[in-house]
Amino acid sequence: MTTTALRPNEAGLRTDGRLERLRLFGLSSPAMLLILVILVIPVGWLFYVSFIGANGEFSLENYERMIKRKSYVRIFITTFQVSVLTTGLCILIGYPLAYFMSQLPNRLANLCLITVLLPFWTSLLVRTYAWLVLLQKQGLVNQWAMNLGLWDEPLKIVHNMTGTLIGMVHIMLPFLILPVYGAMKAIDRDYLKAASNLGANPRTAFWTVFFPLTTPGLFAGSLMVFILCLGFFVTPAVLGGGKVIMVSMKIVSNIELFVNWGAASAMGVVLLIMTLVILWIASRFLRLDQITSGGH
């Protein structure tokens, strides 16, 4: 190799390369522009506003209010309660169902998958409304329970925490089931055969081999559910009857009723930061695509 080798067309080729890369990247520019204008900039502005006090100057009062005022602290506690409970219930109900599906032959499994996905495709509002109707005093649940002798008087299972949880779990279940089911399907059957062969009884085989292999999917699903619960609005607003106040609802009322942009944006920022922190923690253990693909 000579040190004075010819390099014909070098500049031209470099330009061609740059142009092509630019053109291809440019295909994503409309999307990025839209997201920038409609989302990033306004949220950025909200971030700024959260630091503006009632007097129009820089202040931390919006954030202090969240720590000092009892009503605000209540709201955060409630939000966490609902999120944790919903996630926990989803795991308890969803994991066995996913396990059941993973043990079925393909055709039956697909059929069950449809029942899991069906609520997905139905409007959130419609499902929330359906529970509202089912859970009311003279609603179906009370009727059937009383007919079956489960309880004598109509229970108040809506317009409170119970109703909210029922609704939230119903909405969130598919988000947990799908990644867990995916993880389960991916487990090589041979592992279980090996476990049996080595002397494990079914229960041991399950807890020492099968379950650990599903943890990434379980983790991804739980995370997804938890994050969704934190910011959720519609279901608690309708089924909570005003008694279950979540952060999102307070943000809405702050704008609608009080036009208090400072308070609302501060709460929103806190919500956003909580979400990002959780996602960051998750990214230490999972790839980002695992979480996003868990949504379908």
Partner 1 sequence: MASWFKSPASETQVTHGQRLWLYVFAVITMILLVLPTLIVIPMSFSDSQYLEFPPETWSTRWYDNFFGSDEWMQAMRTSLQTAFLTMLVATPVGVAAAYGLHTSNVPFVRMAFVMMITPMMVPLVLVAIGAFYAYVQLNILYTVTGLVLAHTVLALPLVVIVSGSALKGYDMSQEQAARSLGAPRWKAFFTVTLPQIRFAVVTSALLAFLTSFDEVVVAMFISGGDNPTLTRNMFNALRDQIDPTIASISTLMIFVTTVMMVLAQVFGQQRKP
Partner 2 sequence: MTTQATEALPISVSNVTKTYGPVHALDDVSLEVKSGEFLTLLGPSGSGKTTLLMVLAGFTRPDCGSLKFGDDEVIRKPPHLRDVGMTFQSYALFPHMTVAGNVGYPLRLRKRPKAEIAERVERALETVQLGGYGDRRIDQLSGGQKQRVAVARAIVFEPRILLMDEPLSALDKKLRDQMQIELRHLHEQLGMTTVYVTHDQREALTMSDRIAVVNHGRIMQLSTPRDLYERPANRFVADFIGESTFLPVKRAGTDVHYGDTALRYSGDLPDTPDLQLMIRPERVLLSDTGPVEGANNFTATASDVVYQGDSFLLHARLQDGQQIVMRGAVRGDRATSLPHVGDTVTLTMAPEDTVLIDGREV
CA 137 to chain centre: 30
- The site partner of 170 among partner 2, partner 1, none (C-beta below 5 to 8 Å per kind) is partner 1
By the criterion CB under 8 A, which residues form the site for partner 2? 1, 5-10, 12-14, 16-17, 20
| 69, two tokens | 């005022």
**Shortest gap between Cβ of 27 and partner 2 (angstroms)?**
17
Q: Which of residues 141-180 bind partner 1 (CB under 8 A)?
A: 170, 173-174
255 sits near partner 1 (criterion: CB under 8 A): yes
Q: Which of residues 102-131 bind partner 1 (CB under 8 A)?
A: 103, 112, 115-116, 118-119, 121-131
Contact with partner 1 (CB under 8 A) among 13, 14, 15, 38: 38
The residue among 22, 64, 80 whose CA lies nearest residue 247 is 80
Dist CA 222 CA 54 (whole Å)? 39
Q: Provide the β-strand partners of residue 52.
A: 58
In the chain, what's the furthest Cα-to-Cα distance?
A: 97
Q: Which is nearer to partner 1, 130 or 155 (CB)?
A: 130
C-beta neighbour count of 73 within 10 angstroms: 12
* Contact assessment for residue 66 and residue 266, using Cβ atoms and an 8 Å cutoff: yes
Q: Which is nearer to partner 2, 11 or 67 (CB)?
A: 11
**Shortest gap between Cβ of 30 and partner 2 (angstroms)?**
24
Q: Which of residues 62-91 bind partner 1 (CB under 8 A)?
A: none
288 sits near partner 1 (criterion: CB under 8 A): yes
Q: Which is nearer to partner 1, 84 or 133 (CB)?
A: 133
213 sits near partner 1 (criterion: CB under 8 A): no
* Contact assessment for residue 93 and residue 296, using Cβ atoms and an 8 Å cutoff: no
Q: 250: which residues sit within 8 A by CB, 6+ positions away?
A: 72, 75, 264, 267
Dist CA 144 CA 135 (whole Å)? 11
Sign for the CA dihedral angle at 221, 225, 228, 233 comes to positive
**Shortest gap between Cβ of 22 and partner 1 (angstroms)?**
8
Q: Provide the β-strand partners of residue 58.
A: 52
**Shortest gap between Cβ of 9 and partner 2 (angstroms)?**
5
Q: Which is nearer to partner 1, 215 or 293 (CB)?
A: 293
Contacts 24+ apart (CB under 8 A), 40-43: 43/272
Q: Which is nearer to partner 2, 16 or 64 (CB)?
A: 16
- Show the site string, 87-106: x = touches partner 1 by CB under 8 A, - = not: ------x--xx-xxx-x---
